[in-house]
Structure 1
Amino acid sequence: MSLVKYEILSKVAEQMSFTKAAETLGLTQSAVSHAISSLEKELGFALIHRSRTGMTLTSEGQTMLVHMRHVLDADELLQQEAAQILGLTRGKVRIGVISSISSNWMPEIIQIMDNNYPGIQVELREGDYFEIEQWLQSGEVDAGFLNGEKSDQFQFIELRHDPLLCIVSDKSPLYDKEEIDIVELENMPFIMTSYRGKNDVKLLLEQYHVKPNIRFELSEEVGIISMITHNLGMSILPKLVIDRFPASLRTIPLKQGGYRTIGLALKHQASPVTKKFAEILKTWVEEQN
């Protein structure tokens, strides 16, 4: 059995598509299909269930994929350690990112990595906190951004406290306030963030026993801001996601404060390239403060 076949299965499982996996790997769809069929023949059982509605991993496929990813990770680590011995820094690091990080931080971080460590290939995969934690556990990413969820399974490098701010339209009775007492949000029309995993806004409201009138729950900040612009409610969002929004809106600090903790989670036995990425990231964030 070859590592190439393991990598193909891993990419097919990630994309849930032979076509997309082939495009990502630079192969033909028939080559990807042949590799999976060959792997199934070598193992003696099916890895993928194919139907008219799409494809899913079989239970055996899910079990084998976990072990194959461990083998791929071990091979990547071996290559990186060898490169380090030779005085080179090269390899691949897969990062799970939330949308506000991919748009605000990653362009400069990637630029720094490309300029100073051209041998390091950075792959980004965008999702919410819940998905990123799942990817870390399954080995689909080497590191990922989480909001303070510490776990014995990972190292957690705290990077920044991102303030939570109240967002109101110019039609809101709270528009002219310099700060808002969170209790003033009781029964007010509210657009709630629907992040999976730890939801900092819900936790803050629960901490002060405040129950706004939740009109909508949306996962995309763009949709939340649009709702507020049309005077359909207010919301609380992290500062990092609201750098640019319509002039009719205001961000107002909360009297009680409140923030989300942005950090990078990575394996305890992280690869040299993952450690280098974390080092570059931490230095960059410190320089921004």
Structure 2
Amino acid sequence: MNFYYKEHIKFVMNKVQIELFVKIAESGSFTRAGQEMNMTQPAVSRAISTLEAELDVQLLVRDRRGISLTEVGKRILVAFRDILKGFGKVEQEIAAEKGLEKGLITIGAFPAASSYFIPKIIGAINRQYPQLEFRLHEGTIAEVKEWLETGVIDVGILIPPTDEFDSFPLFREKLYAVLPAGHPLAKKSVVKVRDFEKESMLICKSGYEPPVVELFERTGVNLNVKYVINSYHTALNMVREGLASAVMAQLSLLSPPDGVAIRELEPPAYRDIRLAVHSADRCSIAVRLFIDTALKLFAEGEEGDLKPEAGIDRIHM
């Protein structure tokens, strides 16, 4: 691959160098990257040294603490990921022309969405296109957005706002009041948002909180946040211990622990889940297939198909 600058400087890079640099950056190890690409340690070192010499910049810093990227290395990493995706798109186009659909789809999702949506989507695709490969990254909403922005993943499952990406509505899930089983509000079948006015509440951050904050603002109720956490599993256990109450979304309540009461909210509230890509126009064939399959499986279904209410019957009061 040739890059020309100022008409007289030519950089010559090949796919192996680009892929090797990306693997080193992501794994933090020359050894692991070499093993993945069947290259010896000396060969890996020579390839990276040659790449840095051709670009005339230092990409990696190697010291006793390990390997880190220079500032220009971080920027080039994003560009190299795009280049590799371009190679992948070419390979997929050629394979599709020959009737041999294949490719790699890298997905990012927050855990609750990952556990529910991803197995069904991959299962449906694998039955028709077994040669496709998948790589899954699980993290917070904030992390998924960062991975999408920096090219670590091809497609992410997010909740709004997603204005910086091209996105597609996947599912609308209901919000519920979540209380300790012995809480006075647990005696009600429907809990009003204003009932939480003086309650100690916990809230999940890192991108999970916008629908809950918006609900309290819309109803003019003060959200008295006592605990701020990132994990819904931790949130449920804290509610069970009587530390606080919460408003949580449907996907997080499919398998609630004993000692937690889940009640309808008034007014009803919902959280939208969307599929997001950096650019819909630049998606590979494989990523478009993933999106089309996901929308067919979930977006065309009726609201409430997840039925978390089935779990409510198992809660010990």
- TM-score scaled by structure 1? 0.90
- Which residue of the partner structure matches residue 297 of structure 2? 284
The Cα offsets for residues 22-46 of structure 1, whole Å up to 9 and x where unpaired, read as 5666666665444333322332221
Q: Is the 8 A contact 2:159 2:208 kept in 1?
A: no
Structure whose CA Rg is larger: 2
1:65 to 61, 77, 81: 77
**Residues 198/215 of structure 1: CA separation in 2 closer, same or farther (3 Å cut):** closer
- Which residue of the partner structure matches residue 127 of structure 1? 139
What is the RMSD computed on CA atoms of the aligned residues? 2.2
Q: Is the 8 A contact 1:160 1:262 kept in 2?
A: yes
- Which residue of the partner structure matches residue 121 of structure 2? 109
Displacement of 1:199 after TM fit? 2.5
Q: How does 1:46-57 map to 2 (within 5 A)?
A: 46-57=58-69
Q: Secondary structure at the match of 1:105?
A: helix
Ranges of 4+ aligned residues in structure 1 off by more than 6 Å: none
CA distance in 1 between partners of 2:80 and 2:41 (Å): 21
- Which residue of the partner structure matches residue 238 of structure 1? 249
Q: Is the 8 A contact 2:142 2:207 kept in 1?
A: yes
Q: How does 1:211-250 map to 2 (within 5 A)?
A: 211-250=222-261
- Which residue of the partner structure matches residue 158 of structure 1? 169
1:174 to 182, 185, 193: 185
The Cα offsets for residues 178-225 of structure 1, whole Å up to 9 and x where unpaired, read as 111101111201111112376322222222232243221110111111
- Which residue of the partner structure matches residue 274 of structure 1? 287
Displacement of 1:287 after TM fit? 4.9
Percent identical: 29
Which amino acid letter does the alignment assign opposite residue 106 of structure 2?
R
Which amino acid letter does the alignment assign opposite residue 238 of structure 1?
A
Q: Is the 8 A contact 1:148 1:158 kept in 2?
A: no
The Cα offsets for residues 87-131 of structure 1, whole Å up to 9 and x where unpaired, read as 221111111111012111212222222222112111111122222
**Unmatched runs of 5 consecutive residues or more in structure 1:** none
Displacement of 1:261 after TM fit? 0.5
- TM-score scaled by structure 2? 0.83
Q: Is the 8 A contact 1:165 1:253 kept in 2?
A: yes
Which amino acid letter does the alignment assign opposite residue 181 of structure 2?
D
How many pairs are equivalent? 288
**Unmatched runs of 5 consecutive residues or more in structure 2:** 1-12, 306-317
Q: Is the 8 A contact 1:129 1:198 kept in 2?
A: no
CA distance in 1 between partners of 2:268 and 2:185 (Å): 17
**44-53 vs 225-234, which moves further:** 44-53
Q: Secondary structure at the match of 1:232?
A: coil
**Residues 87/142 of structure 1: CA separation in 2 closer, same or farther (3 Å cut):** same
